[in-house]
Structure 1
Amino acid sequence: MKMCKALESLPNNCLERAKGLKARLSIFLQKSDASSNPGHSSKAYKLRPSLEEALEWRETFDKLLTNKHGLAAFRAFLKSEFSEENIEFWLACEDYKNTKSSAKLSSKAKNIYEEYFENDAPKEVNIDHETKKITKNNLLHPSLSCFDLAQNKIYTLMEKDSYSRFLKSSIYQELTKNPMCSCIQKQSSSQKSHT
């Protein structure tokens, strides 16, 4: 009863975000569980990274970000911490740098700035005042590098802060469980119960 009253006192947007997060994480974990079942198709199996693949993510932050499973797991982790705007901004910058048309640069740059930098932006990133000012000035003459300073700061923030917590998180720990160990443990437990 106390918990229900405590939940009622939270703003509605917090509760909605928590519900959405729970749904996204459960879908991610269901896909992971489904892919470990040998009866499922090879397509379902690709939804979960191999143990070796997941263990490689410990080597460098870049290895995590350049792996589609690693990126998905890291995004799920950041969503659980309510800081997904960092990876979304970083990805928006990566997409922006691949813009071929110079005519599109200005509108794309403006959209990124409005979404991630404006005061009360929907996904405002935590950037210092000086970096924000430099980025805004860069928009006067948009180029493929106009977000580089801000993107590098967000990258460093994620690498130094979020990445280490991700490696300790239950999301990552679940992905790096050795399936052979759990099979051996189950067999030894069942053998002990028969003796």
Structure 2
Amino acid sequence: MCRGLAFLPAVCLERAKDLKTLFRSFIHRADSQKPEKLSVPTSEESMKLRESFENLLANKHGLAAFRTFLMSEFSEENIAFYLACEDYKSTKSPSKLVAKANKIYEEFIRTDAPREVNIDHETKAITKKNLERPTVSSFCLAQNKIFTLMEKDCYPRFLRSAAYQEMAGCLTSKVTK
């Protein structure tokens, strides 16, 4: 005889809910970590990718290659967070703003979030406070910290990586043929 979930202690129900969320995040992470098929930029595009991190982010080929590189280093959450914030800033509807803000916070900011980004305690606290009344700039501080981290740490490593060197090598061999 099935008596339903009402007979389980509240602690068990809460733990089951936590486990369900955790499993969902594993599935989401596994799906999001499938490498994207890399397309090759033109030689002109490739030269711009080396000029600045902003150029890399603005180029679909460069962004795809950078994201794949971050996946190989198990730090893809940084670019995912950055892009989620960019999408968030373009949201017009106040009700969607609140929903997106909560989703971003739960996925990337809160302690033990499934894809928690590495930001300091003060930035995390300010961001959480900003979510009491979400605006398009609620995540700006955290997004800027992650941008700087990627620009100063990940981007130079990407430019030295075998993946980027191979991509750049493909371009120079195409140009010299």
Matched, 1:86 2:78: yes
Matched, 1:114 2:106: yes
1:131 matched residue in structure 2: 123
Counterpart residue identity of residue 137, structure 1: K
**Alignment partner, residue 24 of structure 1:** 35
CA distance in 2, matches of 1:64, 1:181: 21
TM-score where L is the length of structure 2: 0.77
**What residue in structure 1 maps to residue 173 of structure 2?**
179
Q: What code does the residue aligned with 2:96 have?
A: K
- Give the CA deviation at 1:161: 0.3
Q: How far off is 1:173 after superposition?
A: 0.6
Q: Quick one: higher RCO (CA 8 Å, sep 6+), 1 or 2?
A: 2
Write the distance in 1 (CA, Å) between the matches of 2:95 and 2:114: 25
Structure 2's unaligned 5+ residue stretches are 1-28
- TM-score normalised by structure 1 residue count: 0.70
8 Å contact kept, 2:35–2:71 = no
Bigger radius of gyration: 1
| CA shift digits 1:30-85 (9 cap, x unpaired) | xxxxxxxxxxxxxxxxx321122112111010000000001000000100110000
Residue identity (%): 60
Task: Tell me how far apart the structure 2 counterparts of residues 149 and 24 of structure 1 sit (CA, whole Å).
Answer: 29
In structure 2, C-alpha distance between the alignment counterparts of 1:139 and 1:114, rounded to whole Å: 11
Q: How far is 1:180 from its partner? A: 4.2
Matched, 1:153 2:164: no
Q: d(CA) in 2 for partners of 1:105 and 1:24?
A: 29
Residue equivalent to 1:62: 54
How far apart in 1 are the matches of 2:78 and 2:144? Answer: 11
Q: Report whether the alignment pairs 1:48 with 2:45.
A: no
- In structure 1, what is the Cα distance between the partners aligned to 2:88 and 2:50? 28
1:100 partnered with 2:92 = yes
Partners in 2 of 1:130 and 1:74 — Cα distance? 28
Question: What is the rounded CA distance, in whole Å, between the counterparts of 2:163 and 2:122 in structure 1?
Answer: 35
What residue number does 1:73 align with?
A: 65
- Unpaired runs of 5+ in structure 1? 1-16, 29-46, 184-195
**Per the alignment, do residues 105 and 181 of structure 1 end up closer, same or farther by CA in structure 2, a change over 3 Å counting?**
closer
Amino acid at match of 2:94: S
Task: Provide the secondary structure at the position in 2 that maps to 1:166.
Answer: helix
Q: Which runs of 4 or more aligned residues in structure 1 lie more than 3 Å from their structure 2 counterparts after TM superposition? A: 180-183
Name the Cα RMSD after superposition.
Answer: 2.0
Shift of 1:182: 6.9
Task: Report deviation, 1:174.
Answer: 1.1
1:44 maps to none
